[in-house]
Every structure is written in structure tokens, then in C-alpha cells.
Amino acid sequence: MVLGTGILMGGAWAYEALSFGGFWAWDPVENASLIPWLIIVAGLHNLVISKATGHALRSSFVMIILAFFFVVYASFLTRSGILGDTSVHAFVEEGLTNHLLIFLFTFVLISKYFLIINWKKIPRKEKEEALSSREFWMFVGSLVLLFGGLHVIFFTSIPVFNTIIGHINDLFGSSIRDDMGKPDNEIQFYSGVQIWVGVLIAILSAFGQYLKYKATESKLFFRSIMANFIFAIIATVISSILLDKLWSITADRGVFHLVTSYSILFFAGWFSVISNMQYLFSVLKGKIKIAGGAISHIGFGVLILGILISNAGQRVISENNFGVQFDGEGMDKTFQRENVRLIKNAPLPLGDYLVTYLGDTIEQGATYYELNFRKIDPETGKIKQDFNVRPYLLMDTKMQQLAPNPDTKHYLTYDVFTHVTSLPGEGSKNAPPTVKTDTIGMGDTLRFNTGYLLLSDVVRFTSNADSIGVMAKFDAVVGVAKEELTPRFVIRLADGTAQQGSAQATIGNVQVTFLGILPEQNKFVFTVTDATLNTDWIVIKSIIFPMINLVWIGTIVMAIGFFISMRKRIQDNKVSAKNA
């Protein structure tokens, strides 16, 4: 209960405080904390089997010993510095490696010694469990959890394997490969396997409690479970349609379209929630005090639904559809596509919102950036939502770089997550503006860093014996802000000289100059002096996470279920002690 809650609290902290955009990234340090929990849950279910039937007591000892081993092993991974090149969270080498290894092997040897000498003394049922029994499928579920944990920890331990092989090569002069790399796309690699672990556990938790210990009558079982199965299919279809309308998940992602691993997991989550709800109210008659297992399973099902919907349905609203290119380290194609530059006081449409960078303030060493999000009803023009977020940058004294911290606006059915990804470099405000000359015709555009100039008209504004004057009309557009610019071009008839006129935009630090006319081509020559990057600006990324509250609700419900089970077990033990 405590470890599982702590892990998800860490996920909540990562979601609120870190800038990778989510609550789980399959980082090696995250993985190291998850493995003991998976194996403890497996061991806990084996203990329940043992108490009810006498089976699986040996495997309970093995799994609980393994769970503590992986707690100590996690400390070794994170504190020894061995993950320094593969995890952003691991500590660097602190001279603790030998101490941690001694600590690790001491507990391995002690636990292994006592397990071996007592192995034959541990009670064991000779008769195998029946295929229709509850204990058989609970044991299968514990093996699935064990497999899920071992899969993650094996690939997380690649740096350890490389180090061991390197020492072997040094010792024996061998040339075994010792540079195995971590998976290229860790999220896709781990999720591709763990999604099926989630499917199996959710389905097992859905029908497991309808089975009886030792043996189950098949007709009664299928009669109990079939209605839940059908309701789960209906709930999957209806919720998929609703999600499609609200978040365009099925249309844009194909996530719940037909039969995919995602749609199967979605069904499994619903199946677990509906089956355990029905078990709680129909079989247990709503008696919460004895429903710890059912409540934990409901929480797990809700957690699965929340993870799937919030990740599959997340939508980057800071899409760079403005032709702006970013130059700098780490600004790859994904960065170019998912980040936008905001000029101070120049509103920019992002998704359904109009976003304005209002300014920044420094508070206790952190620089906060004030951003206003406003959603306007296109039909009525009324403001539907209006809120500010304040992501900030804090100097990391260890890494000597600015660490971005997001700010999130929470709603019941979704969150708006925003963080600053780039700032003007040193001396950028003093950098010379870019100057570009183009020949364009009516209706053509001149682009600059934060917007564009549209040539809407060219008219004669004066004509006399001394000169002829022509005025161009430009619409300067930055986001949804628009301003008319009217640079002029005057020709003196006496000597044929030209006077070139300029116009300066107030919504963007850009100036357009009328240089000349090409009457044969019906074209005009203009120069754009772009100093927009010499003004106050930031680059941001903003993401919408739908239904992410299901993740936190599922975690809380699951922890409550564990607590109820623990309380029930303590009370049972007291009664047994009195009777004895």
C-alpha cells in the first residue's frame, strides 16, 4: 500500500514539476522503484492462496525475498553511479559502490541460507490446483506480475551487465561485447510488452473473485461473468465514441479503432471495473469492510483507463503552423513541430485557446513567465475560459543550467500543461536585425520571424507637377493580431529621383520599406527589416491531458483497498488469537 502510493506520488510530482510531459517515462530509476512493488503484489496474492488452501507458501517466501532484494538492488543502481549515463535521475559515483555491493550480497546470502535450510520444512500441498480454482488463476496472475517485473529490470540492468562483462574481459583477456546499448525508444519498448501484462492482470482481476477455491462450477461461473463481459464491451464502445467526440482520440490516433492492443487494454480496464463493482454490490452486498480485494481491483482498473486515455489522448496544442524555424542544440524535427514562439503582448492561437505572453518576474531566484489562456466561443464571441499559468525556470546549481518547471491548469476532465522550452540567447536583443528584399505582387506575402505581411493594395496618394506618390497597404499579422502598414514611394519628376518610405509595425518589431516599382511585371520591391527577436519572447510547449484525474483517483482507490484488506487481516488475527 505504502510503496505503491509512493511510486504514484512520485509520478504525480514528475507530472507537476518536470518538463517531459507526463507522469512516467520508463527511466531506469522509475523502473527500479516499480519492480519491488510488482513482486510484493505477486507475493501478497500468493500469501492469500496459502492462507486459504495451503498452496504457494514456498513461492510466497521466494517472491517476498525477491522483493526486498530488488529494493536493495534499486539502491545500488541509483547510488552507485552505474546508471549515470542512462538516467537523468541517478546519482553520480559517490564512492559507495563497494559498500552497496557488500550490503546487497549480505542480504542475498542471509536470505538464501535461511530459505535453503528451511525449504523442506515449509508446508507444501502435493495435490495440484484445479484449473477451475481461484488459487490456480491467482498464481498465474502472480507469475504475470513477476514476468513483468523481470522484463523491466533485465533491460534496466544493461549498464550492470556491461560492467560485469568488462571486468570478465579484463580478468580473462576475452573480448565479449561489453557495450550493449539501452533500447532506442524506451517508452515504446517497455510499453509494447507491459501493455499485455496490464491486459492479463486486468482480465484476471475481473473474473478471479468469481472463482471458488479448490474448484468452481463452470455454469455458475460463466453465468456470473458473462453479463459483466457484455457490459464491458458496451462501455468500451460508448466511451470510445465519447472520447472521439471530445478529444478526437479515435480519429487522430486510431487508438480505439477496431481491435488493437490499446482497445484490448481499454476493454480489460472496463471489464475489471465493472466485474469488481458487481462483485462488491451483488456478492458482498456492499460490505466495504470485507471488500478490500474488490476495491483494489476497481482502483487498478480505473488506473489502467486513466493511463491509457491520458497518454493516448494527449494533444500538443502548441503546434508550429506559423513557418517559424528554431536554431539550437536539441531542436530536432519534433521540437520544431511542437513548440511555438510567443512575442510579448502578441496573442497567438494555440488549439482552442488564444495565448498571450504577458511578461516575467523574478521571485526567490526563479523566473516566472506569465501566460494568459483565453478560449472564445466562435459563434457568440464570449469568453468561455480565461486563466493564467506561470511556468518558471530555476537555475540548477549542480548542472549549471536553467531547469524548466511547468505549470498546469487543472479541470475535472482534462489538464492544460505548459512549460518554457527556450529563451533568447545572450546578446540576442543587441543582435543586428535581419534584412531581406523581395519582389512581390498583389496578394503576396512577406514573412518574418513571428508572422507575415500581406500586400492588399497599392494606391496613388498624390500626383502633381512636382511628384508622383504611391502608397502600399500591408496587413501585418502576428497570431490573431492585425495591423495595417502603409509605406510610401515618391518619385520627383524634376530629376527622377525616388524617396523610399518605411512603416513600422507595433505588434511586431518589423519594418517594411517601399523600394521600387516594376511596371512591366506589375510587381513591387520591398525590404523587410525584422527585429522581432530583439524584443521579449519565449518558446513554449503546451499539452492537453484528457481524463488524467482517473490516474490519481485509481491510485487512491487502490490504496484504500489495500488498507481495508490490511485492517480486515489484523481483525481476523485478533479473533484467531482469542479463540486459541
What local confidence, expressed as pLDDT, does residue 450 receive? 75
378 Cβ partners below 8 Å, 6+ apart?
none
For the cut 50, the answer to whether the pLDDT of residue 494 exceeds it is yes
Residue 543 · residue 317 · CB < 8 Å: yes
What local confidence, expressed as pLDDT, does residue 526 receive? 93
Q: How confident is the model at residue 89 (pLDDT cuts 50, 70, 90)?
A: low
What local confidence, expressed as pLDDT, does residue 460 receive? 87
What local confidence, expressed as pLDDT, does residue 117 receive? 96
Three-state SS at 567:
helix
Residue 529 · residue 511 · CB < 8 Å: yes
Q: What pTM did the predictor assign?
A: 0.83
Residue 276 · residue 297 · CB < 8 Å: yes
Residue whose cell numbers read 539501452: 182
Residue 476: C-alpha distances to residues 49, 479, 511, 527 (Å): 73, 10, 10, 14
Q: How confident is the model at residue 541 (pLDDT cuts 50, 70, 90)?
A: very high
For the cut 70, the answer to whether the pLDDT of residue 253 exceeds it is no
Rounded to whole angstroms, the Cα distance separating 200 from 223 reads 21
What local confidence, expressed as pLDDT, does residue 398 receive? 59
What local confidence, expressed as pLDDT, does residue 136 receive? 93
Rounded to whole angstroms, the Cα distance separating 7 from 62 reads 23
Q: How confident is the model at residue 251 (pLDDT cuts 50, 70, 90)?
A: very low
Q: Return the percentage of the chain with pLDDT > 70, whole number.
A: 93
For the cut 60, the answer to whether the pLDDT of residue 16 exceeds it is yes
What local confidence, expressed as pLDDT, does residue 250 receive? 46
For the cut 60, the answer to whether the pLDDT of residue 92 exceeds it is no
- Cα of first residue to Cα of last residue in the chain, in angstroms, is 29
**Which one is predicted more confidently, 252 or 204?**
204
What local confidence, expressed as pLDDT, does residue 82 receive? 79
What local confidence, expressed as pLDDT, does residue 142 receive? 96
Q: Per residue in 93-146, pLDDT tens?
A: 566 778 888 988 999 999 999 999 999 999 888 888 888 899 999 999 999 999
For the cut 60, the answer to whether the pLDDT of residue 257 exceeds it is no
Q: Give the DSSP H/E element, type plus range, for residue 456.
A: strand 451-463
What is the pLDDT averaged over residues 208-237?
A: 90
What local confidence, expressed as pLDDT, does residue 85 receive? 65
Rounded to whole angstroms, the Cα distance separating 369 from 538 reads 9
What local confidence, expressed as pLDDT, does residue 327 receive? 73
Q: How confident is the model at residue 542 (pLDDT cuts 50, 70, 90)?
A: very high
Q: Which three cell numbers stand for residue 16?
A: 507537476
Rounded to whole angstroms, the Cα distance separating 253 from 239 reads 15
Lowest mean pLDDT among 265-279, 286-300, 311-325, 365-379: 311-325
Phi, psi for residue 259 in degrees, rounded to 5: -105, 110
Q: If you average pLDDT over every residue of the chain, what do you get?
A: 87
For the cut 90, the answer to whether the pLDDT of residue 228 exceeds it is yes
Lowest mean pLDDT among 17-21, 81-85, 193-197, 317-321: 81-85
**Which one is predicted more confidently, 430 or 204?**
204
Three-state SS at 418:
strand
What local confidence, expressed as pLDDT, does residue 115 receive? 94
Rounded to whole angstroms, the Cα distance separating 439 from 456 reads 15
What is the pLDDT averaged over residues 332-336?
A: 86
Q: Per residue in 401-411, pLDDT tens?
A: 678 899 999 99
